[in-house]
Amino acid sequence: MSIKLNIPFKLFADCIPVKGANRGVLCDLQRSNIEFIPNSLCDLLHKYDGYEISSILRDHTKNDHETIIEYFDFLYANDFIFFTKTPNLFPPIKMEYKTAFEITNAIIDFNKSSYDFKKVFSELEKVSCKHIQLRFFSKIQSNELASIINLLNRKSSIIQNIKIFIPYNLQNTKNNLEKLLKKNGRISNIIIYNAPKTEVYNIKYQGKLLYTIKNIIDERSCGIINANNFVINSNNFIESKKYNSCLNGKISIDALGYIKNCPSISEHYGNIQNNTLKDALSHKDFKKYWNITKDEIDICKDCEFRYICTDCRAYRENPKDEFSKPLKCGYNPYTNEWSEWSTNPLKHETIKYYNLILD
């Protein structure tokens, strides 16, 4: 099938071009994929979506025609565009982020901590939190983990999804962890870090057991940006355009029980032993990072990945600047190269400032 020059073309609404400093990406939000495209094609798509290709050709010199035809052959062959005589019937996706709840996700850190999990879960339910990450930095046996998860084993619990990080421990056999997953439909992943090798086990109709050689020391291990962590879907894309892609809708309890937006940020809003999450949320500063988007962050604002990449406000290249690029990102949108952030000599002072422990 070849492209049609005299029928208007439309980009599928969930294929969104994003221009960067040096190149663009076409974010395919339905197929969770990105395609690198030249910025010149981003410009054409922004300007001419809903027009005939012949009108683009008319607006350009003959020298450009071959390239323009190549672009559209590629877009059509890969199902990014379609042709229609009624382009007005296909409006763009509304960039409106809506959620019924103020809090959408929580991080709960544990390091031989003394707070009461029952209270933590009951508080999370009171703020209607559905997704939680439990990060254990000290050894925990699978039976202790089972008792903690059992606290949620009520039909009425609104917590839908639990992701658990635990350190590798020979005594927690794969069999035991698998049993835990099978018994608790709410657990989506158990990530066993500092393991001898990296392996993934998909448990049928349940979650995943992921063994990784990577180590997590404590909350300071968080915030690493790499392409494997990009989230390509419409919810994340729209949220990233309007809000901070990590901290919006997040509440955390650090290993000492302090209630925070993120465990790595020093500001806290009381302790879970004596305070409620609702009170913490009502503090005027609790949401101070929620509205910082990638479009406002230095360097990220020029990056083609800005609406699929997560952000990190806890570790910044310039700790004194709230709009500084995440420290743990090694991507340069001006050269399109990735490098190891932790060995970049320009970052050494800041790594020391945050007292980060590197692997």
Chain positions contacting ligand SF4, by CB under 6 A: 222-223, 225, 246-247, 262, 264, 294, 299-300, 303, 305-306, 309, 312-314, 325-326, 329, 331, 333
Nearer to ligand SF4, 68 or 107 (CB): 107
Q: Pick the closest to residue 5 from 77, 72, 74 (CA basis).
A: 72
Q: Minimum distance from CB of 272 to ligand SF4 (Å)? A: 17
Q: Which residue number, 58 or 320, has a Cβ lying nearer to ligand SF4? A: 320
Output 101 or 338, the one with its CB closest to ligand SF4. 338
β-sheet bridge partners, residue 337: 332
CB nearer ligand SF4, residue 76 or residue 290: 290
The nearest distance, CB 167 to ligand SF4, in angstroms, is 18
SS3 letters for the chain? CCCCCCCCEEECCCEEEEECCCCEEEEECCCCEEEEECHHHHHHHHHHCCCCHHHHHHHCCHHHHHHHHHHHHHHHHCCCEEECCCHHHCCCCCCCCCCCCCCCEEEEEECCCCCCHHHHHHHHHHCCCCEEEEEECCCCCHHHHHHHHHCCCCCCCCCCEEEEEEECCCCCCHHHHHHHHHHCCCEEEEEEECCCCCEEEECCCCCEEEECCCCCCCHHHCCCECHHHCCCCHHHHHHHHHCCCCCCCEEEECCCCEEECCCCCCCCCCECCCCCHHHHHHCCCCCCCCCCCHHHCCCHHHCCCCCCCCCCCCCECCCCCCCCCECCECEECCCCEECCHHHCHHHHHHHHHCCCCCC
Chain centroid offset of residue 205 CA:
24
**Least gap, CB of 320 to ligand SF4 (angstroms):** 17
Q: Smallest gap, in angstroms, from Cβ of residue 223 to ligand SF4?
A: 4
Q: By C-beta, is 63 or 266 nearer to ligand SF4?
A: 266
Which lies closer to ligand SF4 via its Cβ, residue 272 or residue 300?
A: 300
Q: Least Å distance between CB 247 and ligand SF4?
A: 6
| Least distance CB 268 / ligand SF4 (angstroms) | 13
Q: Shortest Cβ distance from residue 338 to ligand SF4 (Å)? A: 8
Q: Which is nearer to ligand SF4, 68 or 308 (CB)?
A: 308
- The values of phi and psi at residue 35, to 5°, are -125, 130
CB 200 to ligand SF4: min, Å: 22
Residue with smaller CB distance to ligand SF4, 10 or 316: 316
